[in-house]
Structure formats: structure tokens, C-alpha cells
């Protein structure tokens, strides 16, 4: 028996040396994507990032801060993400406990009785123990895989967290934009009503006709219809925001668009910081690590798993201790030969694991590309909105002067009423566009903050 155990030990040592690579921990592989090239037209020495700014310092509106606080506490998606983290923690605990031996206790009581015989009672108390020796990394890789899965779920929770903040902020500022457009429409309707009165007076004086009055009235009715559409958008946005907060649809208390303040300059940091700041990028890399350890686990299946087991018990039949300490040897022998008769299952599992690992590597690379794209797009959005706002300001000043002069000409000369209506319509469109561009600039800040991994 000792000689046979010696050969088993030697065989196990050879297999252990052959499987040393199974214990190698995950390290980031070389990728086709060059991280330093993710940003375009950005100073390479810029190491400060807007991602380091807490959300309540970037979004200073008190109403918005209250909404974000409620959302972080009650949002359904975020609460589900937290339960995923708890489930992953339980899986990791299970993987850690797999290093310990398993113990079981089996008490039995038997009663037998035959006719004209005394009742016979038998008692059995047996205990068994088994312990798998992790010579070839199966348990170690399973634990590391569970750890990677836990970190992936934590990164997913953070991704939901940051996306929720960005979505609530975007919905809130959209409401402010719609409020401002509603105010512009109401003010324009008031001015349009005055224009109708002027045209009515000119008609009575013989200087205008019915066509001018009807055209002015039709333009006012079209504007009133647009105002109703704005009210519809306000209600729909409030309903969407209420759903994000996990509350029944309600009116959202809010400030005004003119009160909002943001930094004049935005810093996005270095591209390499995306690897640490972006939760979706971290999640993609942890998924890659998880697939790496899963591949190692399938490799370990080619090597024998050695399990030590034994049983001990007591029974009143013989009144003493019954044990079989040699049973572990036969169990170990059975496991040693088991990989030879798996009908290609281990090979198939390994190929699937390698394919999954390659898939997660490609997804990790694509997550970096998507992150770089989102940062570049958000920065461009913010910059171009700034330029458009300056053009909008100049256009509105010009059109306001044009409205004033065409109205004077209509009252005191033969200027066509259509010129007044056209200029007023252009002014209205310019003012609505300016409000839209203000929202576009704010959305650029929100998107950039989210794109570089902000949201703490």
C-alpha cells in the first residue's frame, strides 16, 4: 500500500508541475486599441478630470440635488443592481468555503418487531468527512472567478449609479428648457395679439385688408397649438422623471434655466484614466478576468482532483467504533482515472471557455473605443453649443431691431404686413433655438461628466 501511495504522489507531482500556469493570475493583455489615442485634439499633459468633481458640486441646483438623492435611494434599476452585488458576494463566500472539508452526520434509528418476539431497536451514528486537495488550481481559479464576478457586479452597480444621475439631470434641465420655451410662446402670443389689434385698426382706416388680419390670426393660432405641444412635452417629461424616482407621476418642483451655472472650462484628464473611472470599462475588464479564470478552471479539469475522505460511526449492534480510514485511497484512484473517460467533454469545455475569453477581450476593447467616442462627442457638443449660443445672441438682437422697425414702418408707411409677420416668426424661432442650444450646452456638460466616469 505504501509503495502504491508513493507512485500516486509522484504522478501528482508531475501533473502539478505541468499545471503551474493554471495558477497564474490575470494580467491585462496587449490590445489592438491604443489607450493614449482615444482622445482627439486634447492636451496630453491634462491630468485633471471633471470626473473627480462630486455630482452635488457640479449640479448645484437645490431642486435637482433633492431629485438625485431620491433617485439614488429609490430607483428600481439601482436597487436591482445592488441585489446582484449581494448575490455575487454570496457566490464568493461559497468559493472561499470550498477549501474547507465537508462534514456530515447521519443518525439512524431502526425498530423491528415480529410476532411473539421482543421489539428490537438499533441505533447508528455515522460521520463522514471529505476534503478536496487543490493541487491543480480548480478551487483557486473558481475563487478568483467569483472575485472577478463580484467586482464586475460592483462596476455594473456604479455604471447604473452614474447613468441614473446623468439621466435625472438631463430630464430636469429638459423641463427647464420646456418651461422657458413656454414662457417665450406666451410672451410672443401677447405681442401677436397686439399686432392683430394694430391690423384691425389699420383695416378700419383703410390701410389694411381682411387678408392681413386673417393671416395674423392664423399665425397666432399656430403658435397656440405649439404651446399646447410644449405642455404635452412637459407632462411627459415629468412622468418619465417620476418613473426614474420610483414615485407616482407628479408635478416636479424646479428652478429656471437662467439660474443654472456651470464651469466655463471642462477638463477631461488623460485617456488612461478611463480605465479607472469608467465603471462600464471596469466591468468589461472584470468580465475578461472572469473568463480568464473560467478558462483556467476548464484546464484544471484535465488533471486529477484528489479528495481525501473517511467515515466513522457507532452502532449498538457491535457496541464500538467502526471506521474505514483506507477508503480515501480508493476514492483518489477513482478520480485519477476519471479524466480519461470523459468522451471529449473537457476538450469541448476548454474550447468554449477560450472562445468566451476572446469574446470578452473584444468587448473590453470595444468598451474603450466607445468610451473615447463618448468623451469626444460630449466635448464637441459642449464646444459647438457655446459657438451657436453666441450666434443666437447676435441673431436675436438683430431680429428684435428688425421687428421694431418693421412695426413702425407698418404703422406709418405702406410696408406690407407680411414683412412684420415674417420677422416676428423668425424672432420666435431664434429665441426657441437659443433655449434649445442652452440645453445642448448643459447636456454637453452632463454627457462629458458621465463619459469620463463621473458620478460619485
Average pLDDT (83-101) is 89
Does the pTM surpass 0.85? The reply is: no
Given a contact cutoff of 8 angstroms between Cβ atoms, the answer to whether 405 and 226 are in contact is no
Sign of the Cα torsion 338, 341, 347, 349 reads: negative
Torsions phi, psi of 188, nearest 5? -65, -35
CA atoms within 13 A on the CB side of 163: 14
Over residues 311-338, the pLDDT tens digits come to 766 666 654 444 444 444 444 444 444 5
With the CA atoms of 233, 239, 243 and 247 taken in that order, what torsion angle do they form, in degrees rounded to the nearest 10? 150
Average pLDDT (358-367) is 93
CA distance 249 to 239: 5
Q: Check pLDDT > 80 for residue 9.
A: no
C-alpha distances (whole Å) from 401 to each of 186, 214, 405 are 20, 25, 6
Q: Check pLDDT > 60 for residue 12.
A: no
* 438: nearest Cα among 377, 384, 385: 385
Question: How many CB atoms are closer than 10 A to CB 10?
Answer: 10
Q: Check pLDDT > 50 for residue 247.
A: yes
Average pLDDT (163-186) is 95
pLDDT band at 143; cut points 50, 70, 90: very high
Which residues touch 139 (CB under 8 Å, ≥6 apart)? 95, 98, 99, 132
Average pLDDT (110-127) is 71
pLDDT: is 45 or 284 the higher one? 284
**pLDDT of amino acid 71:** 95
**pLDDT of amino acid 327:** 43
Identify the top-confidence range among 112-126, 175-189, 260-274: 175-189
Q: Check pLDDT > 60 for residue 274.
A: yes
CATH topology of domain 25-101+135-305+346-451: Outer membrane efflux proteins (OEP) (1.20.1600)
Read off the C-alpha cell for 286. Answer: 472584470
Average pLDDT (2-31) is 61
Q: Check pLDDT > 50 for residue 146.
A: yes
Cell 471633471 belongs to residue: 50
Q: Check pLDDT > 70 for residue 401.
A: yes
Read off the C-alpha cell for 438. Answer: 442652452
Cell 420610483 belongs to residue: 246
CA distance 274 to 39: 11
Identify the top-confidence range among 34-48, 119-133, 262-276, 357-371: 357-371
Q: Check pLDDT > 90 for residue 175.
A: yes
pLDDT band at 243; cut points 50, 70, 90: very high
CA distance 363 to 280: 11
pLDDT: is 54 or 199 the higher one? 54
Question: How many CB atoms are closer than 10 A to CB 232?
Answer: 11
CA atoms within 13 A on the CB side of 358: 6
Which sequence spans correspond to the domains of the chain? 25-101+135-305+346-451
Torsions phi, psi of 53, nearest 5? -85, 125
Torsions phi, psi of 30, nearest 5? -70, 140
Average pLDDT (182-191) is 91
Average pLDDT (216-232) is 90
Over residues 278-307, the pLDDT tens digits come to 899 999 999 999 999 999 988 888 777 777
Given a contact cutoff of 8 angstroms between Cβ atoms, the answer to whether 46 and 269 are in contact is yes
**pLDDT of amino acid 412:** 72
Q: What percentage of the chain's residues is helix, strand, coil (to nearest 5)?
A: 70, 10, 20
**pLDDT of amino acid 325:** 47
Per DSSP, 302 falls in state T
pLDDT band at 42; cut points 50, 70, 90: low
Q: Look at residue 309 and give its three-state secondary structure.
A: strand
Given a contact cutoff of 8 angstroms between Cβ atoms, the answer to whether 135 and 110 are in contact is no
Average pLDDT (333-346) is 57
Torsions phi, psi of 210, nearest 5? -60, -35
Q: Check pLDDT > 80 for residue 250.
A: yes
Given a contact cutoff of 8 angstroms between Cβ atoms, the answer to whether 375 and 39 are in contact is yes
pLDDT: is 198 or 165 the higher one? 165
Over residues 427-440, the pLDDT tens digits come to 999 999 999 999 99
**pLDDT of amino acid 80:** 95
Question: End-to-end CA distance of the chain, in Å?
Answer: 63
Task: Tell me the percentage of the chain whose pLDDT exceeds 90.
Answer: 45
Cell 406666451 belongs to residue: 186
Read off the C-alpha cell for 248. Answer: 407616482
**pLDDT of amino acid 269:** 78
Q: Check pLDDT > 80 for residue 134.
A: no
pLDDT band at 4; cut points 50, 70, 90: very low
Q: Check pLDDT > 60 for residue 402.
A: yes
* 81: nearest Cα among 164, 144, 166, 145: 164
CA distance 210 to 413: 18
Average pLDDT (166-177) is 96
Q: Check pLDDT > 50 for residue 48.
A: yes
Amino acid at each position: 500500500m505504501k509503495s502504491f501511495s508513493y507512485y500516486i504522489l509522484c504522478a501528482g507531482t508531475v501533473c502539478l508541475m505541468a499545471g503551474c500556469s493554471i495558477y497564474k493570475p490575470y494580467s491585462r493583455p496587449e490590445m489592438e486599441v491604443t489607450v493614449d489615442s482615444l482622445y482627439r485634439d486634447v492636451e496630453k499633459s491634462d491630468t485633471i478630470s471633471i470626473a473627480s468633481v462630486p455630482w452635488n458640486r457640479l449640479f448645484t441646483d437645490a431642486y435637482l440635488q433633492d431629485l438625485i438623492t431620491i433617485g439614488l435611494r429609490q430607483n428600481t434599476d439601482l436597487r436591482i443592481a445592488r441585489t446582484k452585488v449581494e448575490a455575487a458576494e454570496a457566490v464568493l463566500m461559497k468559493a472561499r468555503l470550498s477549501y474547507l472539508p465537508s462534514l456530515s452526520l447521519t443518525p439512524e434509528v431502526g425498530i423491528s418487531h415480529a410476532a411473539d418476539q421482543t421489539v428490537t431497536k438499533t441505533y447508528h451514528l455515522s460521520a463522514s468527512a471529505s476534503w478536496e486537495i487543490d493541487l491543480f488550481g480548480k478551487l483557486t481559479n473558481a475563487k478568483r472567478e467569483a472575485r472577478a464576478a463580484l467586482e464586475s457586479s460592483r462596476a455594473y452597480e456604479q455604471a447604473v449609479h452614474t447613468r441614473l444621475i446623468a439621466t435625472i439631470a438631463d430630464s430636469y434641465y429638459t423641463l427647464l428648457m420646456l418651461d422657458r420655451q413656454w414662457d417665450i410662446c406666451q410672451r410672443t402670443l401677447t405681442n401677436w395679439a397686439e399686432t392683430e389689434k394694430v391690423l384691425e385698426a389699420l383695416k378700419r382706416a383703410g390701410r389694411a385688408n381682411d387678408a392681413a388680419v386673417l393671416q395674423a390670426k392664423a399665425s397666432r393660432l399656430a403658435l397656440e397649438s405649439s404651446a399646447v405641444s410644449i405642455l404635452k412635452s412637459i407632462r411627459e417629461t415629468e412622468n418619465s422623471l417620476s418613473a426614474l424616482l420610483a414615485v407616482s407621476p407628479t408635478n416636479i418642483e424646479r428652478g429656471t434655466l437662467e439660474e443654472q451655472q456651470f464651469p466655463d472650462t471642462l477638463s477631461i484628464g488623460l485617456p488612461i484614466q478611463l480605465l479607472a473611472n469608467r465603471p462600464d470599462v471596469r466591468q468589461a475588464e472584470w468580465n475578461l478576468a472572469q473568463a480568464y479564470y473560467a478558462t483556467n478552471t476548464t484546464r484544471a479539469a484535465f488533471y486529477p482532483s484528489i479528495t481525501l475522505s473517511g467515515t466513522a460511526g457507532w452502532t449498538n449492534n457491535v457496541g464500538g467504533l467502526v471506521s474505514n480510514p483506507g477508503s480515501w485511497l480508493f476514492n483518489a484512484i477513482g478520480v485519477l482515472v476519471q479524466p480519461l473517460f470523459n468522451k471529449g467533454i473537457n476538450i469541448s469545455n476548454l474550447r468554449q471557455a477560450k472562445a468566451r475569453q476572446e469574446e470578452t477581450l473584444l468587448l473590453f476593447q470595444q468598451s474603450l473605443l466607445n468610451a473615447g467616442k463618448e468623451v469626444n462627442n460630449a466635448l464637441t457638443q459642449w464646444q459647438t453649443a457655446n459657438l451657436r449660443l453666441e450666434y443666437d445672441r447676435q441673431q436675436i438682437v438683430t431680429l428684435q431691431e428688425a421687428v421694431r422697425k418693421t412695426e413702425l414702418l407698418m404703422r406709418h408707411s405702406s410696408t406690407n404686413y407680411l414683412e412684420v409677420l415674417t420677422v416676428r416668426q423668425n424672432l420666435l424661432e431664434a429665441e426657441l433655438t437659443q433655449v434649445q442650444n442652452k440645453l445642448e450646452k448643459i447636456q454637453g456638460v452632463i454627457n462629458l461628466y458621465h463619459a469620463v466616469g463621473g458620478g460619485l
